[in-house]
Homo-oligomer: A and B are copies of this chain.
Amino acid sequence: MEQNEKYSITELGPKESISRVMLKDTLSLTGAEISANRMSAGKSSLFAHAHKRNEEIYLFTEGKGLFWLDGEILHVKEGSVVRVSPTTIRCIKADDNTALSYFCIQVDEGSLVQYTRDDGIRSDIKPDW
């Protein structure tokens, strides 16, 4: 893991090797907590939970499973992306025959001020690859 003021990097390795990894402290993130998760086939979250102030975004990258949201059940799979409001109670279960890989991103609800064109600064520098 390299870390300096400009950037930090870590290597999670292949999805199959991950159980649960929290990234905020490792990467010195200041605007999000991010976890990388792989839930074994047939397993589910140990308990359902909600949040006080954080919005969560779930990026499902492999496998399939069920996402329980205040009693409603969504089917999720590779490519599903789900935003969950802070007070919604949530729980995840992997398919009985397929492990489920996903990232969970926690951010402070309402915290984004500006983005992309309003926040980005195009550079005239061209990397010499």
Contact = CB atoms under 8 A, between A and B. Distances in A.
A98 interface: no
Contacts of A100: none
A69 B7 CA distance: 8
Contact of A33 (B6, B28, B29, B115): B115
Most buried by B among A55, A57, A81, A109: A81
Nearest to A59: B103
Nearest to A80: B11
A91 interface: yes
Given A51-B119, A52-B121, A57-B32, A129 B11 contact: no
Contacts of A127: 44, 48, 68, 71, 73, 91, 93
Contacts of A115: 24, 33, 54, 106
A129 B23 contact: no
Shortest 3 CB-CB contacts between residues of A and residues of B: A31-B107, A12-B79, A111-B111
